[in-house]
């Protein structure tokens, strides 16, 4: 009976995705063990380490559908590791004792680690597709709202005007960096393991490296320069990468939650009938995807810490830290897939309220433009003096509720240097967007959109 939110019949497709769950399933893991055994047999037959007849027979029985999962469970509990029970069934399935040539010169960890790398390879392909889709959606938002003014915020206070396109382009740039990181880490992470008992391939003598090379060619993985049984930076790196990705998803979710507040209402998550409903307050439209992304991101961060802990392993074969990866890595990938899927859904269907963005810029009676006024007067009054003068006028705006431009116009010192028309230009948000548009264009150019 399913007992976690990742395999729950109710919650599993909220917190992860069917495709990623399939990658880390028992069936796929066992198939990856058998893929290793098949590749090893082909490589060793080619090098005449094992008979071709044995290779042919082994290859006939490297389909996980032939294997009894109940017996695998029982034997794994008895032995303590999952590979030997698979090999035992493989040997029995092969005729005339030819299965005895399987697993030649290999050790349990060679197969387990390489199977994990094969699962990582499949998983990263899924991750890459989601990143691409999110980049496309963010690029579309950045382009469409390139010149749409909104309030930039600092410490949750209105700061200076930005554009919504600029806000989206900052996140697009982050996901473009994630694409770059993914391409950079693949050669380091997608590397197989085949070292034998203590990593030296002593069981194969002079044929060890030749066999390792052929094996990795068969599996389409990189050949390690040296065995890495207890040097786990490859696994930790991919975990940290997923932590970075989900961190960016969490940033988007946090901003969307804040922008969805009743008092703000500048964006809304995609909507369909009943989505975000409250059981008692009919008016509510809760941020559903953002809430799940927040939870997924938090859990990935904690599990990445566990992978870093697993790096500290003893000697050439470890006593426990390795098994941390068995627990943490599948969950990291599954939660990341869920966070990416929720983020994609969110940004592809985001509702943007341009009118509300314009309205919110003016709720402070023009105070959001105080820096623009200060800078506009600075060359005439001196920057520091202009700052203090505008500061005092801003306090009067807060006290009286009158528009900033009226109090600026009434100030005798300011009136000497700026008439009403000049002040109107200073307090127009569209005139104080800096190079936001050009920055958006630069990010879109990176994307080729």
Closest Cα partner for 56 from 67, 44, 64?
44
**DSSP letter (8 states) at residue 260:** T
Q: What share of the chain is helix, strand, coil (3-state, %, to 5)?
A: 65, 5, 30
Cα 372 to Cα 152: distance, rounded to the nearest angstrom? 14
Does residue 194 contact residue 201 with C-beta atoms inside 8 Å?
yes
Other beta carbons within 10 Å of 316:
14
The CA distance from 167 to 147, in Å, is: 11
- Report the candidate in 442, 448, 446 with the shortest Cα–Cα distance to residue 165: 442
- Distance linking the first and last C-alpha atoms of the chain: 47
Instruction: Tell me whether residue 317 is one of the annotated catalytic residues.
Output: yes
Which of 317, 356, 358, 402 is labelled catalytic? 317
Nearest to 72 by CA among 35, 100, 33, 109: 33
Closest CA to 242 of 192, 291, 307, 170: 307
DSSP state letters, 341-376: HHHHHHHHS-EE-HHHHHHHHTTTTTGGGHHHHHHH
Active site residue 395: no
| β-sheet bridge partners, residue 245 | none
Collapsing DSSP to helix, strand or coil, 334 comes out as helix
DSSP-based three-state secondary structure for 32: helix
Q: Give the side-chain half-sphere CA count within 13 A for 325.
A: 30
Catalytic pick among 278, 383, 395, 415: 278
- Among 352, 346, 341, which residue's Cα sits nearest to residue 143? 352
- 3-class DSSP state of 427: coil
Angle between helices 436-447 and 164-189 (to 10 degrees): 30
Distance, in Å, from the CA atom of 318 to the CA atom of 115, rounded to the nearest integer, reads: 18
Active site residues: 278, 317
């Amino acid at each position: 009976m399913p007992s976690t939110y990742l395999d729950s019949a109710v919650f599993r497709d909220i917190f992860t995705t069917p495709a990623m769950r399939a990658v880390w399933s028992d069936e796929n893991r066992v198939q990856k063990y058998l893929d290793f055994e098949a590749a090893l047999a082909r490589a060793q037959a080619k090098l005449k380490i094992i008979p071709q007849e044995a290779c042919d027979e082994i290859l006939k029985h490297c389909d996980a559908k032939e294997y009894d999962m109940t017996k695998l469970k029982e034997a794994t509990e008895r032995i303590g590791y999952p590979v030997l029970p698979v090999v035992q069934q493989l040997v029995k399935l092969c005729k005339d004792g030819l299965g005895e040539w399987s697993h030649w010169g290999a050790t349990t960890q060679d197969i387990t680690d390489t199977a994990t790398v094969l699962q990582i390879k499949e998983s990263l392909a899924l991750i890459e597709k989601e990143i691409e889709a999110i980049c496309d959606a963010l690029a579309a938002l950045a382009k469409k709202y390139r010149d749409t003014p909104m309030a930039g915020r600092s410490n949750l206070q209105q700061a200076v005007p930005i554009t919504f396109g600029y806000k989206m382009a900052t996140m697009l740039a982050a996901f473009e960096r994630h694409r770059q990181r993914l391409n950079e880490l693949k050669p380091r992470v997608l590397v197989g393991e085949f070292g034998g008992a203590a990593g030296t391939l002593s069981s194969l003598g002079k044929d060890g490296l030749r066999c390792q090379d052929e094996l990795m060619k068969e599996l389409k993985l990189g050949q390690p320069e040296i065995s890495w049984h207890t040097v786990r930076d490859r696994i930790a790196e991919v975990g940290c990468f997923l932590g970075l990705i989900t961190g960016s998803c969490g940033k988007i979710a946090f901003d969307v939650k804040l922008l969805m507040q009743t008092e703000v209402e500048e964006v809304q998550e995609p909507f369909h009938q009943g989505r975000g409903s409250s059981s008692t307050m009919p008016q509510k439209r809760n941020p559903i995807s953002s809430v799940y992304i927040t939870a997924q991101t938090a859990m990935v961060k904690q599990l990445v810490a566990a992978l870093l802990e697993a790096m500290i392993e003893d000697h050439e074969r470890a006593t426990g830290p390795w098994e941390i990866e068995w627990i943490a890595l599948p969950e990291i990938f599954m939660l990341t897939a869920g966070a990416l899927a929720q983020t994609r859904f969110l940004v592809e269907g985001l509702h943007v309220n341009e009118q509300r963005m314009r309205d919110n810029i003016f709720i402070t009676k023009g105070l959001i433009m105080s820096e623009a006024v200060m800078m506009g007067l600075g060359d005439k009054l001196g920057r520091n003096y202009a700052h203090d003068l505008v500061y005092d006028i801003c306090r009067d705006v807060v006290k009286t509720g009158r528009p900033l431009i009226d109090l600026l116009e009434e100030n005798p010192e300011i009136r000497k240097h700026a008439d009403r028309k000049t002040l109107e230009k200073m307090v127009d948000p569209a005139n104080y967007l800096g190079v936001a548009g050009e920055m958006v264009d630069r990010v879109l150019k990176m994307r080729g959109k």
